[in-house]
Amino acid sequence: MQKRKLYELAKTIRSKNAGTDKITFDIIFTEKQTYELVCNSNVITKTSIANLYGIDENRITDFVTYDPANAIKFTIQRDKPSGSPGDSDIFGSQQYAPLLDLEIPV
């Protein structure tokens, strides 16, 4: 079975702050067909995201597929507040990188 990397299929893959204690992620597709292909592959699930980020699944506060925008969206509870000592990404904008190389069966 042939696979493609998520970054090859998605128009936008991003992360950003969702308040001081959360980071939200968006994976947005141009075509509905590609969005449905990725959703139906079950590669991106609450469980797989927890495994990918090495976190407990309970830290994922939201996980939705949003059909009107051809988007998969999820939010992770930070382990420490944004800007606190030891926080390596104040804006949460660099946390999407592990998603880029997810392999999706096509």
- Find, among 41, 60, 64, 40, the residue nearest to 50 by Cα: 60
pLDDT tens digits for range 27-67: 999 999 999 999 999 999 999 999 999 999 999 999 999 99
**Mean per-residue pLDDT, 4-31:** 97
Structural domain containing residue 44: 3-105
- % of the chain at pLDDT higher than 70: 100
- Token pair belonging to 100: 């880029």
Total tally of structural domains belonging to the chain: 1
61 phi and psi angles, rounded to 5 deg: -85, -25
CA 73 to chain centre: 6
Q: Which pLDDT value is given to residue 67?
A: 97
Average pLDDT score over the chain:
96
Question: What's the confidence (pLDDT) of residue 99?
Answer: 98
Does 26 have pLDDT greater than 90? Answer: yes
Report the distance separating Cα 38 and Cα 99, nearest Å.
Answer: 13
Q: Is the pLDDT assigned to residue 87 strictly greater than 90?
A: no
Residue 69 maps to which CATH number?
3.30.70
